[in-house]
Structure 1
Amino acid sequence: TSPSTTRCSSTSFIIIWGLLITASKTNGICIISTPKHKGQRTMDHKEQIHEVRSHSHHHNGNGNGHHRPRGPPPPAHGPYDYADEYISPQMSRDDALRRVKTAGSISISPELFEKLYLSPQNNVKGDLRKTFGNPTPIAIVGFLISLTPLSCDLMGWRGAGGSGAAGIGSYFFFGGLLMFVGGLLEWVLGNTFPSVVFTTFGAYWLSFGATLNPSFAAFSSYAPPGAASGAEGLATKGFNASFGFFTLAMGMITVVFLVCSLRTNIVFFIIFLTLVPTFALITAAYWFLAMDFAGNSAFAAKLLEAAGACAFVTCMAGWYLIFAILLASLDFPLDLPVGDLSRVIRGKSEMSRV
């Protein structure tokens, strides 16, 4: 063999060896073959991977002088577990893809999970959370686009009024549709608490919109015989007393949500904390109207205005929460704290393990 051929072979070997080292630094799986001398056994796949990674770690320039020893790799589940990185030639295509996806998955902290899903982290089967997006912001947007204008209507800003009748469309398609879809998707992902919250309020917005819609005859059914308009039913004792029980029931379930939210975060807790007096004030307003519609109209208007103020505080907390969740979803450099409570009030199962 000529000297030039020998030099070319040596150069090619050095280039190939450098490429293998570079690939190993990027955590790629490289299978190499070393010259087999007489009496030397051939390394299996795990040993070859360990050989490349040991060599690359020795040359990584970290300056600490430490590297993993050469030779057979440690057993699985030891200090260096290669179980998620090793792909056997006998594996099927699906098993290999599943192994690669497992090795490349990213786990999030319990604090970030609670921030994104408004629920303490729980273990569920399957990888749906890795397959689908986070439905929590969808439901929150539907809630905010419905409640924010309604709170302004109740406070009478810029001449608004009519108990929010102008927002019937948003109650159906934002509050009802988005919150119900978001709640169902949370249920699919195994997030019980947010799924119950979102579907409950989604149904509330659909019910509220249907009550204000004349097509459902909710108030016209109470109109006295011979009334010129079905809207006269809004001033009857029966309608106001009956609708007051509906808002009372919503206030009761909101109290339950308030207690449960102590395991989520401060912002979510504030949302329920301000919703409870909102429903209480609305209930009181309708019951005062039921007692004497004409005589208590002015006082009921004040109660509804106070309810609108409480709901507006709810909206401000909600807008902050949706902003924080979307920033975290995009891995934005700005991180808005929400006051994680999942580690402050520990769960029953966690306390039993201590």
Structure 2
Amino acid sequence: MADHARGAAPSANPAPLGLLGFGMTTVLLNLHNAGIFELSAMVLAMGLFYGGIAQLIAGLLEWCAGNTFGTVAFTSYGCFWLTLVALIVLPKTGLAETSSTGAMTAFLLMWGLLTAILFVGTLRINRALQVVFASLTVLFGLLALADASGSHALKVVAGWEGLFCGFAAIYVAAAHVLNEVYGRIVLPLGALRAAVVPMLARKAA
């Protein structure tokens, strides 16, 4: 705290790490949901280490930077991926029962609710992040409906929509990195004139 007060050198922006952990893992899981390949150790490992642990690290770094939005978003979705891996693995070990359809529907709806709340926050950040959180809200809704109805076709639709969401997050991460490296806007994020709190958009608006 004292070092920051004396003007210590700024730290790196943790947002790209969190966005890539989320985006790349989301793409891989939704390739499965779209029916392109079966769920395997590859997806689970990505969910555990990059989607889970890397996002938790990004969330803690955002906390150190005083960014409430980034802290909540990255820490929450890091825990989402760790929880999802546990939901798949624990029943196979005999430590827990497989979640019922109703339980998984409630699980997905709760994450959809959180995402909708965070989407409202993105209305003060930038357009690109709005696309990420709006599409993620839709994704959780589609997955909840697919689970509740047992519709394979709806799950495939959710998979393709999830691919869009994941690649949108990767785009935002790439914009943060490249805009900072080149010192100019290489990939636009759609900065908002009314935005007064930089949050995830810092350094790369």
Residue identity over aligned pairs, in percent, reads 27
Query: Quick one: which of 142, 150, 171 aligns to 1:281?
Result: 142
Q: Is 1:143 aligned with 2:143? A: no
What's the CA shift string for 1:287-327, capped at 9, x where partnerless?
A: 123xxxxxxxxxx1111111111111112211221111111
Query: Quick one: which of 180, 184, 190 aligns to 2:66?
Result: 190
Q: How far did 1:141 drift?
A: 1.6
**1:310 corresponds to which residue?**
161
Segments ≥4 residues shifted beyond 4 Å? 124-128
Q: How far did 1:182 drift?
A: 0.2
Answer whether contact 2:101 2:147 (CA < 8 A) is retained. Answer: yes
- What amino acid does structure 1 have at the position aligned with 2:87? T
What's the CA shift string for 1:59-86, capped at 9, x where partnerless?
A: xxxxxxxxxxxxxxxxxxxxxxxxxxxx
Q: How far did 1:329 drift?
A: 2.1
**1:344 corresponds to which residue?**
194
Answer whether contact 2:115 2:137 (CA < 8 A) is retained. Answer: yes
Computing the radius of gyration from Cα coordinates, the structure with the larger value is 1
Q: Give the distance between the partners of 1:309 and 1:127, measured in 2 at CA.
A: 46
Query: Quick one: which of 153, 156, 166 aligns to 2:35?
Result: 156
- What amino acid does structure 1 have at the position aligned with 2:164? V
- What amino acid does structure 1 have at the position aligned with 2:142? L
Secondary structure of the corresponding residue to residue 13 of structure 2: coil
Q: Is 1:262 aligned with 2:99? A: no
- What amino acid does structure 2 have at the position aligned with 1:312? L
Q: Which runs of 5+ in 2 are unaligned?
A: 198-205
1:17-166 to 2 correspondence within 5 Å? 125=5, 127=7, 130-157=9-36, 160-162=37-39, 166=42
Q: Give the distance between the partners of 2:5 and 2:84, measured in 1 at CA.
A: 37
Answer whether contact 1:247 1:282 (CA < 8 A) is retained. Answer: yes
Q: How far did 1:138 drift?
A: 1.2
Aligned residues: 193
Q: Which runs of 5+ in 1 are unaligned?
A: 1-97, 99-123, 223-237, 290-299, 348-354
Answer whether contact 2:24 2:166 (CA < 8 A) is retained. Answer: no
Q: Structure 1 pair 332/346, CA: closer, same or farther in 2 (3 Å)?
A: closer
Q: How far did 1:333 drift?
A: 5.5
Q: How far did 1:166 drift?
A: 4.6
Q: Is 1:250 aligned with 2:126? A: no
Question: Which one has more relative contact order, counting CA pairs under 8 Å at least 6 apart?
Answer: 2
- What is the TM-score when the length of structure 2 is the normalising length? 0.85
